[in-house]
Amino acid sequence: VTIVGYASISMSTNLTHGVQFGTISTLPVTDANASHNYDGVLSISTMFMNVSTDSNAAVDFCLKANSDLRDAGGDTLSINNETYSNSTITNATYPRVAAQIPLTTSYVDAGEAIAVGGTIYYRFWLDVPVAQSIGTYNNTISVEGVTTGASC
What is the reported pTM?
Answer: 0.95
pLDDT score for 65? 98
Q: What whole-number distance in Å separates Cα of residue 87 and Cα of residue 103?
A: 16
Q: What whole-number distance in Å separates Cα of residue 63 and Cα of residue 91?
A: 22
* Confidence band, pLDDT 50/70/90 cuts, at residue 5: confident
Q: What whole-number distance in Å separates Cα of residue 108 and Cα of residue 130?
A: 29
Q: What is the pLDDT of residues 73-122, one digit of tens each?
A: 999 999 999 999 999 999 999 999 999 999 999 999 999 999 999 999 99
Q: What is the pLDDT of residues 38-64, one digit of tens each?
A: 999 999 999 999 999 999 999 999 999
Q: What whole-number distance in Å separates Cα of residue 68 and Cα of residue 105?
A: 8
Across the range 136-148, mean pLDDT stands at 96
Instruction: Please work out, in degrees rounded to the nearest 5, the angle formed at the alpha carbon of residue 104 by the alpha carbons of 98 and 110.
Output: 55
Sheet holding 141-147, edge to edge: 108-109, 59-65, 141-147
Q: How far is CA 43 from the centre of its chain?
A: 17
